[in-house]
Amino acid sequence: MPVAIITGASKGLGRALARALAGRGWDLVLDARGAKALAETAEAVSAQGTRVSALPGDVTDAAHRAELVAAAWRLGGVDLLVHNASALGAEPLVRLEELPLDGLRRALEVNLVAALGLVQEALPLLRASRAGAVVAVSSDAAAEAYETWGGYGASKAALDQLVAVLAVEEPGLRVWAVDPGDMATDLYAAAVPEDREPRPEPAAVVPGFLRLLDERPASGRYGAPALLDGAR
């Protein structure tokens, strides 16, 4: 069975992706900081008959990243790495004049540095896979200038560039940055708690991600709306 590592997998998009991949027979290594929520997700996913290794921890911890890849190796390798773990930098989001520099550093560490660290750790197994792929969950804030989203958007823009260069350097892999669009997630609620407008559930955009795996288009940046249109 193919094996995927998914970070930030206890809730939201990460959990929805885990459930969808498990439904397709993937074995999974799941990461999140919250041990209780991660265990609940792992139990739900395991009920679909897949093998799951759930490792609570922080992706900024190099030892934890090594544990994730080692767990994937024990399951057979790494065919897909999904970097979904994200940090806002401030909760709720604030204008740049108020953005704590430690918060910005945290966003860069989680959204960017940890992504590269995990890729570096997993590269030998990704290269050995017949269909190795990396998915970096990006944001429209990486490409658009929204008030208060400066620190988070900058970290995601840097992630987009890192992924683009990785795609050039690793032509044997598929490397995709994906903007999932608006979703009803805890991250968004923490970012803009006063915004109560209804948003799609994360599971609604999962077919777009699955389309990437099915069709394996060229490495690059993709938006969920276009992927979903093609998936219907």
Q: Catalytic annotation on 188?
A: no
Cα–Cα distance for residue pair 229/231, rounded to 1 Å: 5
Cis peptide before 198 (omega within 30 of 0): no
Burial of 182 (0-12, 13-18, 19+ CB in 10 A): middle
Place of tokens 């991250």: 187
Among residues 158, 123, 162, 126, the alpha carbon closest in space to that of 142 is found at 158
Residue 209 tokens read as 């991600």
**Which token pair is 188?**
């968004």
Which residues does residue 55 pair with via DSSP β-bridges, in sequence order? 31
Name residues whose C-beta falls within 8 Å of residue 180's C-beta, 6 or more positions apart in sequence: 13, 137, 139, 202, 205, 208, 209, 224
The catalytic residue positions are: 152
